[in-house]
């Protein structure tokens, strides 16, 4: 359990002991996830909001709608129609490749091609030749 959740739980327990009445549990606000386009080594002002699950690719009438359409980006030509998916499970985010042609990569010491990988705030992701930074705020 993370520190914020533990502190919230302790506050609820203390309030219940003080008043002798049940107390409505406090909730930790959900973090907002975004993908920021990265070009020439710097983050741009192109930002895509992310919900879970979130399919990333290029729209095609044969495939149907997707959550983040990269067709308008210059790098979009290297992105498959259904390239990757971002998913939040048990509080952790991960990127999942959906059988893309040009691969999904996560930056560690170097870019590593992945089928599925846990990601966190600041993780750099490449879908084909399109680069992004994943942010939580």
Question: What's the pLDDT tens digit per position in 16-55?
Answer: 454 455 545 555 556 689 999 999 999 999 999 999 899 9
- Predicted pLDDT at 16: 45
- Range 92-96 average pLDDT: 97
**Preceding omega of 53 cis (within 30 degrees of 0):** yes
For the domain that residue 127 is a member of, what is the CATH number?
A: 2.60.200.20
42 vs 6, residue with greater confidence: 42
H/E element, 112:
strand 111-113
Same domain, 80 and 123: yes
One domain for residues 65 and 129 = yes
User: Using one digit for the tens of pLDDT, what is the confidence trace for 45-73?
Assistant: 999 999 989 999 999 998 888 999 999 99
Question: Do 54 and 107 lie in a common domain?
Answer: yes
Claim to verify: residue 36 and residue 65 sit in the same structural domain: yes
SS3 call for 104: strand
Contact (Cβ atoms closer than 8 angstroms) between residue 82 and residue 60: no
pLDDT at position 64 is 87
Residues 47 and 106 in one domain: yes
pLDDT > 80? residue 123: yes
Distance CA 127, CA 105 (A): 6
Distance, CA of 19 to CA of 28 (rounded, Å): 23
The reported pLDDT for the residue numbered 7 is 43
Question: Are 5 and 46 found together in one domain?
Answer: no
Q: Are residues 3 and 39 in the same domain?
A: no
Give residue 42's domain range: 31-136
| 82-92 pLDDT tens trace | 999 999 999 89
Distance CA(104)–CA(87), nearest Å, equals: 14
């Amino acid at each position: 359990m993370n520190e914020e959740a533990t502190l919230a739980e302790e506050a609820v327990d203390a309030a219940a002991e003080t008043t002798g009445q049940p107390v409505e549990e406090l909730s930790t606000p959900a973090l907002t996830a975004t993908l920021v386009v990265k070009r020439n080594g710097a983050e741009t002002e192109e930002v895509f909001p992310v919900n879970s699950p979130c399919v990333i690719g290029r729209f095609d009438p044969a495939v149907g709608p997707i959550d983040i359409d990269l067709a308008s980006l210059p790098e979009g030509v290297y992105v498959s129609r259904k390239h990757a998916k971002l998913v939040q499970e048990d509080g952790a985010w991960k990127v999942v490749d959906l059988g893309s042609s040009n691969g999904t990569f996560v930056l560690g010491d170097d870019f590593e091609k992945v089928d599925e990988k846990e990601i966190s705030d600041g993780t750099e992701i490449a879908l084909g030749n399109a680069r992004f930074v994943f942010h939580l705020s």
